[in-house]
Structure 1
Amino acid sequence: MDLKLEAIVIPVSDVDRAKKFYEEALGFRVDVDRRSGDNYRIVQLTPPGSECSIQIGTGITQVTPGTYQGTYLITSDIEATRAELVGRGVEVSEPYHFGPQGQTPGIDPERASYNSFMSFSDPDGNGWLIQEVKQRAPGR
């Protein structure tokens, strides 16, 4: 069996504001923007380099906007990604990693995959993490 994660629904309060943020600030590609009457609209956006998309809209979820926390994006260069996002006006945290004392400021000194992170929120407060993965674990 071969299963792929295609899309994740992100709850938002203002579809146009969220679409602008994901498209312009984060550089996501708009795949779909469809309406059906006044109570249904779906916008599908895909992060650069990803096969999995997000969906935002009206009438697609009953989840409260701003309640999703910890959705991951992966990058191979956390410093370059942070610089680009800051240049686009995204309020992104400083990088941090996990060491013997727990969460520690700065990039992992060994630049080990899966150990450096930064975070940001969309306009509704949905929280995202960006994790640096330079080399995937075997079998991934």
Structure 2
Amino acid sequence: MSTTSTDVVKFSVEVITLPVSDIDRALRFYVDQAGFALDVDYVPNDFFRVVQLTPPGSGCSIQIGKGLTDALPGSLRNIYLVVTDLQAARRRLLECGVEVSAIRHKFPVDAWNGSFEAGLDPARRDYASFADFSDADGNRWVLQERGYRNC
């Protein structure tokens, strides 16, 4: 890339490939329990299948399938789903049968040293409160709250 160019190049993450062991089980989990929209389920032959799913309100999708990746099922960690209301997002997932961790927040937030305390950040600061869930293969997602007061 030229350092003299004045052109701005924009990069956008649009798809993350998620390694799963059972495509149909993962499809049911992400649609029926996690609430993702099914965008594509394409099977042109016995060796390839791509299923694309998008979380509600997201500009980035995930793909699961056959012939997409050689990564081990369950090997993705800490894929962030940023939500405006962590309590509501956690409650909805629990109601749909997803096991979600308890909510925790960074402590102390202003001089964070890697510690957490139970519950939401008392001031509901952006990026300070979290919960986790995993799919059946162990791919782990992190729910993180941002914009609670801007709703």
TM class, shorter-chain normalised?
A: over 0.9
1:60 equivalent to 2:71? Answer no
Partner of 2:53: 45
Give distance in 2, aligned partners of 1:70 and 1:84: 20
The C-alpha deviation readout for 1:63-111, integer Å capped at 9, x for no partner, is 0001111000010000111111110010001100110371111111110
1:9-60 deviation digits (Å, cap 9, x = unpaired): 0000000000000011011011100012111100000000001000000110
Please name the residue that 1:22 is paired with.
30
Tell me the amino acid that sits aligned with residue 44 of structure 2. S
Q: Is 2:79 the partner of 1:71? A: yes
Q: Structure 1 residue runs of 4+, over 6 Å off?
A: none
Residues 1:3 and 2:11 aligned together: yes
CA RMSD in angstroms, aligned pairs only: 1.1
Which residue in the other structure is 1:132 paired with? 145
**Number of residues of Structure 1 aligned to a counterpart in Structure 2:** 135
Bigger Rg, which one: 2
113-122 vs 1-10, which deviates more? 1-10
Letter in 1 for 2:141: W
- Return the letter of the residue paired with 2:125: A
TM-score (normalizing by structure 2): 0.87
Structure 2 unaligned segments of length 5 or more: list them. 1-8
In structure 2, distance between residues paired with 1:62 and 1:3: 24
In the alignment, does 2:131 pair up with 1:123? no
Using structure 1 for the length normalisation, give the TM-score.
0.93
**Structure 1 position 108 matched with structure 2 position 121:** yes
Match of 1:138 in 2: none
**Partner letter of residue 115 of structure 1?**
A
Unaligned runs of 5+ in 1: 136-140
What amino acid is aligned across from residue 56 of structure 1 in structure 2?
I
SS at match of 1:117: strand
Corresponding letter in the other structure for 2:145: E
